[in-house]
Structure 1
Amino acid sequence: MHSALRRASEFARNLGLSRPILLAPMAGACPVSLSAAVAAGGGMGACGALLMTPDQIGGWARDMRETSNGSFQMNIWIPDPVPNRDAQHEARLRDHLADWGPSVPADAAEAPLPDFDEQCRAMLAASPAAMSSIMGLYPPDVVAEMKARGIKWFATVTTVAEARAAATAGADVIIAQGMEAGGHRGAFDADQAASALVGLFALLPAVADAVDVPVVATGGIVDARGIAAALVLGASAVQIGTGFLRAPEAQTNPAWAAALARTAPEDTIATTAFSGRLGRSVRNAYAMSDGPAPAPYPIQRALTGPMRSRAAKDGNIDAMQAWAGQSAARAPDEPADRIITRLWDETLALFG
């Protein structure tokens, strides 16, 4: 057996998986139905808990366990510093956004975010196989509690320096996120996210050489060629997000799913227009519009909320938040369990 396959098989076995393929924990796009289907195919399910209350986190875990005996990870963003507010600038943004959807209430950005500490406690209580971090590192007390409960810490990184910091802080697994990935960029420092855009196949071997813990590759992987390449470059597994969004169990908005199928790599854009945090989406009319500079996260996300909700309801891809990795067009339209089994069978065939 090829050494890369031995490494991947050992990683999967240690997590109770039959195939080293993980679902990316996409906030708002990881229904239990998708995670259960991924687990049925031998992979690892996921829950993106960013916008969830503690009760919702506990409810998701209960529903998953009632549906599947497969393992899963739960993910949360490490909070950014409190953003600076500019009332006049936000007023200009509201005027601009009214051209793309409903008028934006003056108090749209005043709603509090879910409490991070309470979310962490809820995830610990849910006892997933792993808790993953993005946008930074878990505080030491959370890390200590994870280790006491036997929960693995998967730390998402976008640079070698971030990988080293995560390993030093006690991460059990490093998730190396290439710039090809759809959705939000996992950079620890939001101000540096756009200036440190490293492609996966440059980042992955550098991270694998820099740390002594297993590395999972994510970003732009949708087929067996990408999986095989990632394993040869040092990954112990792969994590796939966009590649599952056209599966029926994902329940993706039909307009979004249809757009993925026709989105070439150059038809995606890394933009702060939707949330104030850099993320890769379909290159649509709103993202390319000439308006005021986006407000910081989470202010921009709150201000764009009415537009995004209306666009999703109307199936209007021109104003929709349609996250998409650079390999979106090759995302298959088939059940998630079949995607997992087919991808792994085809990967094994490539290794002969």
Structure 2
Amino acid sequence: MTSWPDRRILDLFGIELPILQGPLAGATTPQMVIAVSEAGGLGGLPCAMLSHDQARTSLDIIRQATGKPINVNFFVHKPPAPDASEGRVWRDRLKPYYAEFGVSGDVPAPVPGRAPFDEAFCQLIEGYRPEVVSFHFGLPEKALLDRVKAFGAKVIASATTVEEAIWLERHGCDAIIAMGLEAGGHRGNFLSMDMSQQVGLFALLPQVVDAVKVPVIAAGGICDARGIVAAMALGASAVQIGTAYLLTPEATIAPYHRAALKSSPSDATALTNLFTGRPARGIMNRLMREQGPLSAEAPAFPTAGTTLAPLRAKTEATGSGEFSNMWSGQAVRLAKEMPAGELTRKLAAEALEKLRR
């Protein structure tokens, strides 16, 4: 076999390899996006933690370096209304830590650390016309979505249940990311916040494939060629890989995060809402062990991190990640250190070799 058995995503996006680099907010650089796209996959730029000016600068760098297709990713959420009492409850839980590390718990009012897709972002990407635009936590309002589709972008979004996949297809997605429970970072759920309903990729994937007509992209626990082949056997047209790219030199993660990824055992991750207010999978640390990892007292997304900021600053200065989020999927032990472009080509070549057998 010299070509991929399912070309739907390749033809839809205009790419050579059915590998999407997960848009890793806070870790992805323009250089990572460029390397993956130049290798034949689909590089993904996360904009949730970027200002409009930062997103523009990143897109300028990417477009100047490659003419290959790219994905630009956004969160879709409604910032919560200010709730002073909620912040006080969480600060009270953190007081012993403030005292231990000699920092003040008098923090400013919560400031959202992640921005949702809005009119300004929409106007920005209209000028760059990315080939793919992806969304997390659902889809934006119809008027904005129509504008994205009007400049020719293919729209994809994450589904963590069959019901979410059906909803996304009905509302205009060109392909759907089936996001298994193994995936690192924020869960993409949007129809329900009940984590007990979340399922693993290999239970979710074939059900989503059967339920929708658009191509399906598998995400969660895929870090090597075996995962790619297994996902395709269950009907995926492509895979989205995140955690494996965290160990590339193009990733901007803190040294303590990189060290934790390289040394963590297979059972080292858990879902937590302590750092942002929304469930996300990361490597276990002191805060997660002692206060969660899931707590009903954590402030609403995305403001939870404000009260943690003094603790993060103090501990990170010593090289510690005990009070910082270290996003990771469950297959972290399968990740290998190598440049992003090389990793993309290696994964594709090894997967094709296995498909030939």
Tell me if TM exceeds 0.5.
yes
Identify the residue that residue 198 of structure 1 maps to in structure 2.
199
Identify the residue that residue 223 of structure 1 maps to in structure 2.
224
Identify the residue that residue 9 of structure 2 maps to in structure 1.
11
Q: In the alignment, does 2:50 pair up with 1:52?
A: yes
* 1:150 equivalent among 138, 147, 152: 152
Inter-partner Cα distance in structure 1 for 2:174 and 2:116: 25
Inter-partner Cα distance in structure 1 for 2:29 and 2:277: 25
Deviates more, 1:201-210 or 1:108-117: 108-117
Deviation at 1:302, TM superposition (A): 2.2
Deviation at 1:345, TM superposition (A): 1.0
Q: In the alignment, does 2:245 pair up with 1:238?
A: no
Cα contact 1:275–1:304 (8 A) shared by 2: no
Per-residue CA deviation, residues 256-312 of structure 1 (Å, 9 max, x unaligned), is 112112223311011111111001010111111148732221221222233334444
Identify the residue that residue 160 of structure 1 maps to in structure 2.
162
Cα contact 1:173–1:213 (8 A) shared by 2: yes
Deviation at 1:69, TM superposition (A): 2.4
* 2:72 equivalent among 56, 71, 74: 74
Alignment of 1:240-255 (within 5 A): 240-255=241-256
Alignment of 1:60-99 (within 5 A): 60-80=58-78, 82-83=80-81, 85=83, 86=85, 87-98=87-98, 99=100
Identify the residue that residue 299 of structure 2 maps to in structure 1.
295
Cα contact 2:139–2:145 (8 A) shared by 1: no
Deviation at 1:152, TM superposition (A): 0.8
Inter-partner Cα distance in structure 2 for 1:10 and 1:110: 41
Three-state SS of the structure 1 residue aligned to 2:15 is coil
Deviation at 1:84, TM superposition (A): 6.6
Three-state SS of the structure 2 residue aligned to 1:289 is helix
Inter-partner Cα distance in structure 2 for 1:279 and 1:200: 16
Deviation at 1:146, TM superposition (A): 1.6
Identify the residue that residue 350 of structure 1 maps to in structure 2.
354
Per-residue CA deviation, residues 286-342 of structure 1 (Å, 9 max, x unaligned), is 111148732221221222233334444432132221101001121110111111111
Identify the residue that residue 30 of structure 1 maps to in structure 2.
28
Change (3 A) 1:313 1:123: farther
Change (3 A) 1:265 1:190: farther
Change (3 A) 1:239 1:174: same
CA RMSD of aligned residues (A): 2.2
Per-residue CA deviation, residues 57-92 of structure 1 (Å, 9 max, x unaligned), is 221111111222222111111113625722531431
Q: Which amino acid aligns with 1:161?
A: E
Inter-partner Cα distance in structure 2 for 1:131 and 1:101: 44
Per-residue CA deviation, residues 119-156 of structure 1 (Å, 9 max, x unaligned), is 23323333211111111222111221122110111111
Q: Which consecutive residues of structure 1, in runs of 5 or more, have no partner in the other structure? A: none
Inter-partner Cα distance in structure 2 for 1:340 and 1:35: 11
Q: Which amino acid aligns with 2:92?
A: R
Q: Which amino acid aligns with 2:306?
A: A
Inter-partner Cα distance in structure 2 for 1:93 and 1:59: 39
Inter-partner Cα distance in structure 2 for 1:60 and 1:318: 30
Instruction: Give aligned-pair identity as a percent.
Output: 34
Three-state SS of the structure 2 residue aligned to 1:191 is coil
Cα contact 1:176–1:203 (8 A) shared by 2: yes
Deviates more, 1:77-86 or 1:323-332: 77-86
Inter-partner Cα distance in structure 2 for 1:288 and 1:274: 13
Inter-partner Cα distance in structure 1 for 2:253 and 2:129: 27
Q: Which consecutive residues of structure 2, in runs of 5 or more, have no partner in the other structure? A: none
Identify the residue that residue 185 of structure 2 maps to in structure 1.
183
Three-state SS of the structure 2 residue aligned to 1:238 is strand
Q: Which amino acid aligns with 2:21?
A: L
TM-score (norm. length: structure 1): 0.92
Inter-partner Cα distance in structure 2 for 1:116 and 1:20: 26
Cα contact 2:75–2:116 (8 A) shared by 1: no
Inter-partner Cα distance in structure 1 for 2:255 and 2:327: 13
Per-residue CA deviation, residues 163-185 of structure 1 (Å, 9 max, x unaligned), is 00000001011011111011111
Q: Which amino acid aligns with 1:132?
A: S
Deviates more, 1:247-256 or 1:275-284: 247-256
In the alignment of these two chains, the number of paired residues is 349
Identify the residue that residue 281 of structure 2 maps to in structure 1.
280
Q: Which amino acid aligns with 2:300?
A: P
Deviation at 1:201, TM superposition (A): 0.6
Inter-partner Cα distance in structure 2 for 1:313 and 1:224: 37
Deviation at 1:221, TM superposition (A): 0.4
Inter-partner Cα distance in structure 2 for 1:231 and 1:115: 32
Deviation at 1:225, TM superposition (A): 0.4
Three-state SS of the structure 1 residue aligned to 2:182 is coil
Deviates more, 1:61-70 or 1:319-328: 61-70
Cα contact 1:264–1:327 (8 A) shared by 2: no
Inter-partner Cα distance in structure 1 for 2:209 and 2:14: 23
Identify the residue that residue 134 of structure 2 maps to in structure 1.
132
Inter-partner Cα distance in structure 2 for 1:112 and 1:198: 28
Identify the residue that residue 338 of structure 2 maps to in structure 1.
334
Q: Which amino acid aligns with 2:335?
A: A
Deviates more, 1:131-140 or 1:99-108: 99-108
Deviation at 1:114, TM superposition (A): 4.1
Q: Which amino acid aligns with 2:132?
A: A
Cα contact 1:190–1:277 (8 A) shared by 2: no
